[in-house]
Every structure is written in structure tokens, then in C-alpha cells.
Structure 1
């Protein structure tokens, strides 16, 4: 089964989330909305902010690769199936990443 996670899915963050699926999806949403280098002691966590200064078509291609690598490294319980972007018409130039993921070994993860 696949799940869609957006960088805007951070409305209700729960620390020490007990539900495994919710924890995984929350971790991905946090990863998508965190600029790399902004987390003390975890400077490699997040998405490269330098990509954001590129033209939108170039930024999309670079971000797809960066998002796939970051999710692979920081949330190994999932496989990235697809990365897409939503452009906000009220905020031109803003890209909102949405990632489709599949949970690896759902039975072992307790999902």
C-alpha cells in the first residue's frame, strides 16, 4: 500500500508517536520541510536549500534526486515510489514536494 506525504503535513506534530505508520509519515513530512544544515547535531538532515535558488524546472529535477536520497537515508522503513510538486498559485515560485512512499515489510513494522 502506498501513502502520499506532503511538506505541508505538519499540522499536528506528536513527539514519541506510538502509531508506527503515523510516526513514519510524520518523519517524512518533517524531512521534506527542513532545510539541510538547520538541525544542530544532525547537519545532514533535511533537503538542500541551495537548490531553491535555481530556475523551477532545474530545481524540480535536483529536488527529486535530493528527496529520494534523504528519505532513503533518514527513513529506511520506506521506499520512495514517486516525487511530485504542487505549485502554489498564490505564491509564485513556491514548490511544495509531495512524496509517494511504500512501507517496507509492513508486517515487521507493526503496521
Structure 2
């Protein structure tokens, strides 16, 4: 992921944060091992894996990016059985630009 240290808008900044949170494996960030998503349960049936990932994505985004409200998490099948999440969110009420 390429980080833009001077995003042009709050929307761009928030989107970058959401992508960063979802793509980061928990335990991989020095001094903040809880940042990101836990990826230990990868050998589960797809429906159970998606339910657990949805819970983890929503929890992580609520904790780490409180300026958004998650509306939906859907999945697209990827290569070699990978599951790719798509997160639909909106800016939370009261967030000023």
C-alpha cells in the first residue's frame, strides 16, 4: 500500500485509513501489535470465515477509525480460494471537514 501523507480531502484520508486497517495483519506493527485484523482462522469453511471476518472488520474499524459507520461488508472470491472483503461505509454524523 502506498501511503499519501498529505491527502487532498478528509474522504481520501478516511478511505486510506480503512484500507490500511483491513490490509494490515494484527501483530505486524511494532509498538502497536493490536492494529489490524487477526488472520489466524484461515482454514475454516467460507461462510464461517466470512462471518468471523465481518465481525473483526467492523470491530477494528469502530476502534481505529471512529469517523465512519460501517453499512455493509461483502466478499468477492479471489485467486486460490482467497476471500476479498469490500466495505461500504459512510462518514459518521458530527464529523466536520
Q: TM-score when scaled to structure 1?
A: 0.79
Residue 18 of structure 1 deviates from its aligned partner by 4.5
Distance in 2 between residues matched to 1:54 and 1:48, nearest whole Å? 14
| Conserved? CA contact 1:51–1:63, under 8 Å | no
Gaps of at least 5 residues in structure 2 are: none
Gaps of at least 5 residues in structure 1 are: 1-9
Residue 69 of structure 1 deviates from its aligned partner by 0.2
Aligned Cα root-mean-square deviation (Å)? 1.5
Aligned length: 97
- 4+ residue segments displaced more than 3 Å: none
1:2-31 residue CA offsets vs partner (Å, 9 max, x unmatched): xxxxxxxx4x53024242110000000011
Q: TM-score when scaled to structure 2?
A: 0.90
In the alignment, structure 1 residue 105 sits paired with structure 2 residue 78? no
